Structure 1
Amino acid sequence: MPIRPFTLAVTDAQLSDLHQRLRNSRLPDALKPDSWEDGTNSAFLQRLLEHWCNHFDWRDQERRINQLPQFMTEVNGQAIHFLHQRGKGHKPMPLVITHGWPGSFLEMEQLLPLLTDPAAHGGDAADAFDVVVPSLPGYGCSPAPTQAGISSRQIAALWKALMGQLGYGRFGAQGGDIGAGVSMWLARDHQPQIIGAHLNYIPGSYRPPLGAGQDALSEKEQDFLGRSSHFAATEGAYAALQSTKPQTLAFALADSPLGLAAWIVEKFHAWVDHPDDLEQVLSFDTLLTDIALYWFSGNVQASLRLYKENRQNPLTFKPGERVAPPLGVTLFPKELPMPPRSWVARVFDVHRWEHAAHGGHFAALEQPQILAEEVRAFFRPLRG
C-alpha cells in the first residue's frame, strides 16, 4: 500500500447505532454515587452521558480531526495510520512520537505545532522537528493486527520501517505510557537509526539486570519497587485484567459505549493532574472524542490485548547489556510510580532527567508547552 492521505469518516449508521445504545444505557447502583473510591464516579458518568447524548457533536470533532495531516500506509503487512507534519526551520530533526492507552494520536494535537514550528510559538526555529505520530495497531484509525505476537517490540520495528518509507534514515523517538516502551525498544533494537529517545514515563515492565554481579539496590530503588507494588495492589486491576484475559473484558466494552467510557474515564481521573475536578483540565468534549475513537474503531479487543503481548515480551535486559542512544526523561508530578535515575542508568545512557512543575500521565494533552520545551532541550545538543 503506497502512502496516501487519510480522512476519518464515521458513517451515519455508526452514529445512529451509538446514539441508540447510549439512550438504552443502564447504570448500576452505587453505594457512593459521588465517590471514585470503588471506581468510576456514578454521578460524573451520568453527567458525561447526558453531555454525550444531548450536546456532543461528533461531526464537529471529525471536521477538526480531518484538518490534521493524516496518512495511511502498509508496513510489513500491517496497515498504519499516522500524522506527518514537516518542520519549519533549518534541517528539522525527524521525530516519531508514540501514544499509549487509553489515549490516541489526538494527544499530540497541541504538541504538533509547538515542535514543527517552534519559532511561531516563542521558540527557536533551530529546534524544529519533522513529526510523525503513528496510531498503535488496533488503536484509533490503525487496523488491528491479524495475528498474535505484536508487542511494543514488534511495533518499534514497524515504526523503524515506517520512518524509512518516509525517507528518514535516522530519527529521534518520544513517548509516554505504551509509547515509552516502544521508544525504549527502538533505542535498544535499532541503535544505529536512533538519534536519542525522550520519555515522560518508564514502563513498569522495564527491569535492568539485578542480582549477582550487579550493584545492590539503592534506598531510592527499593522505595520505587515498594511504590510500584503498592500501585499494582491498589490501582492495577485494569492492567492485570488486560494483560491476562483481555478478550473477556472486550465483550463488555465492545457492546456498551457507556461501559467503555467508564473504563477509560477512571484512568483520566486518576492519572491527570487536576484539583479534584477533571473538567478543569480536560473538557467533556475532549474526553468523549478520545472515547469515541475507541468505539468507532471497533478494535477494543486489540487495544486491550497489547497489554498481554507486552507482559509476554517484557523489557528485560541481560547482565552487561547497554543501550547507546542518549535517553532523556521528564517526570511529571501526577505520573504513575517512576523510578530514580539510577534505575534507568543501569542500562541506558541518561543525558537528561528533569522534574516538571505540573502535569500527569497524559503530558502532551495536559501540558503540551512544558513537554515541547523538554523535548527541544533534550534533542538540542544531539542535532547535526
Structure 2
Amino acid sequence: MNIESRIDPFRIAPFRIAIPDKDLVDLDERLLRVRLASGIDDAGWSEGIEPGFLRDLLEYWAAEFDWRVHEERLNALPQFLARIGEQTIHFVHQPGTGPSPLPLVLTHGWPGSFLEMERVIPLLADPGAHGGDPADSFHVVVPSLPGYGFSPAPRGKGTGAWATAALWAELMAQLGYTRFGAQGGDLGAAVSIWLGQRFPERVVGMHLNYVPGSLKPPMGEGEAPLTAEEQEFHKRIAAWVDKEGGYAHIQGTKPATPAVGLNDSPAGLAAWIGEKFHAWSEHFDATIGLDTLLANISLYWFTQTIGSSFRMYVEGRAKPLALQEKVRPPLGIAHFPAEIPIPPRSFVERAFDVRRWTTMPAGGHFAALEQPELLAEEIRAFFRPLRAG
C-alpha cells in the first residue's frame, strides 16, 4: 500500500484501511504453498513455536480467517494520518464522553500494533457506558509506532523510543492537547518514559503495565547501593534474556537478515509472532485467540512492516533507557502476574515518583488484549487524583 500518497502534508487526514484484493489473493496462494521445517519429536515449546500450534494456526489462517471482517471492524475506529516533520503517523483518535476528558496517548509495543488497544479504547473514552464514572473519561489517542502497520518506516536511522516521544508530543500538540497522560507496555513503556523525561511540563502522569528490564536509573554518588532484592532481579532478568531473549538480540543487531524471510513467508511471520503471543500471555486461548492473533499478524503482512518494526530494537541499543535524573511526572504501575520479569518497586523508585503500584489478579504481557477491563480501571484510578492538577 502506498500510505504516503494518501497524506495532505499540511493537515491531519482521515484514514480507512483498504487492503487490495490482490494482496489477499497473494496471501492465500502463499498459504497453500507453505513448506514447514522438520523438527524433533516432543520438543514442545522449548525450542520455539510448537509445531502443532503452528500447523493449526496456518490451517485456520488459510481456511477460516476472514480479513475483511476484521478490516470492517477496525474501520469503525476513527483513524487518521498525520504528517510530523518527515514522518507520517497513523493513529486512532477517540474523543471522550464525559464532563472533562483527559487527553491520553496509549502506545503499543512489539509484536503488537494499534489493534492491541481496540478493546480498551471504549472503556477509557466512555466509561459511563461501561459501568464506570463519566468523570474518568479520556480523549484517547493510539498512534502506530513508526514503521509499524500504517505508519510508514522512517527514511533513515535515529527513530527509536526517544525520538518517538517527540513525535507523540507534536502529534498531541497538533490535536490541541497541551497537557496529557501517557500509558504503555513493552516498547510503549519506553516511549511513555521518554515522554515524561523529555516533556515533563506537558505530561500529567505516566502509567505503565511493563517496566523495561533495561532501565538504568541514576546510580551515581550519593545513591544507595543495590538491595538484595534488586540484585536478585538483575540475576533473574539475565537468566530470562539468556533463555528467551534471542529474538531481541537478533532484531537489535542483525535485523535485515530475518526480515527477508519473514517478509516473504506468511508461515515464518506467523511462527515468529505467534510464539511470543502464546508465550507472553497468561491464557492465550481464552483471552486472545487465533482470530485476534491473525488479525495482528495480517497487519504486519499486508503492510510489510516486520523488518521496519525491528528498527526500534536497533535504536534502543543505540539510545538505551539510561536516566541521568529522576523523571518528574508521577508514575503508576499495573503489574500483571504473567508479565515478563520487571524490576522491583524499590529499583523503579530510584528513577520515578511512584504514586501507585498494583499487583493485578490476572493477565500477561498483552494486558490491553487479555484484561481490558482490569487495565482500564487501573488507568482510571491512577489518573483520577491527577486530573485536577
Pick the TM interval, shorter chain: over 0.9
SS of aligned partner of 2:91: strand
Contact 2:149/2:299 (8 A) holds in 1: yes
Q: Which residue of 1 aligns with 2:319?
A: 313
TM-score normalised to structure 2 length? 0.96
Equivalent residue for 2:332, pick from 328, 333, 348: 328
Listed as ranges, the matches of 1:176-187 within 5 Å are: 176-187=185-196
* Deviation readout 1:101-134 (Å, 9 max, x if unpaired): 0001011111011001111111101000000000
Equivalent residue for 2:343, pick from 300, 318, 339: 339
The change in CA–CA distance for 1:294 and 1:361 in structure 2 (over 3 A counts) is same
Residue 305 of structure 2 corresponds to residue 296 of structure 1: no
Q: Which residue of 1 aligns with 2:364?
A: 360
Q: Which residue of 2 aligns with 1:283?
A: 289
Return the offset for 1:80: 0.4
Return the offset for 1:282: 1.8
Equivalent residue for 2:264, pick from 240, 255, 263: 255
Contact 1:58/1:289 (8 A) holds in 2: yes
Q: Which residue of 2 aligns with 1:380?
A: 384
Residue 275 of structure 2 corresponds to residue 266 of structure 1: yes
SS of aligned partner of 1:123: coil
Residue 247 of structure 2 corresponds to residue 238 of structure 1: yes
Listed as ranges, the matches of 1:68-79 within 5 Å are: 68-79=77-88
Residue 69 of structure 2 corresponds to residue 60 of structure 1: yes
Listed as ranges, the matches of 1:1-384 within 5 Å are: 1=9, 2-32=11-41, 35-210=44-219, 212-274=221-283, 278-318=284-324, 321-384=325-388
Return the offset for 1:140: 1.1
SS of aligned partner of 2:310: helix
**Farther off after superposition, 184-193 or 14-23:** 14-23
Letter in 2 for 1:382: L
Distance 1:291 1:166 in 2: 30
SS of aligned partner of 1:29: coil
Return the offset for 1:347: 1.4
* Deviation readout 1:15-35 (Å, 9 max, x if unpaired): 111111111110011213671
Q: Which runs of 4+ in 1 moved over 6 A?
A: none
Return the offset for 1:209: 2.5
What is the RMSD computed on CA atoms of the aligned residues? 1.0
SS of aligned partner of 1:88: coil
Return the offset for 1:281: 2.3
Structure 2: any 5+ residue segments left out of the alignment? Answer: 1-8
Distance 1:314 1:48 in 2: 35
SS of aligned partner of 1:61: helix
Contact 1:33/1:42 (8 A) holds in 2: no
Distance 1:285 1:93 in 2: 32
Letter in 2 for 1:303: S
SS of aligned partner of 1:243: helix
* Deviation readout 1:292-350 (Å, 9 max, x if unpaired): 000111122110121111111001022xx121100001100000011111111111111
Distance 2:41 2:81 in 1: 45
SS of aligned partner of 1:48: helix
Contact 1:75/1:158 (8 A) holds in 2: yes
Letter in 1 for 2:236: R
Return the offset for 1:200: 0.3
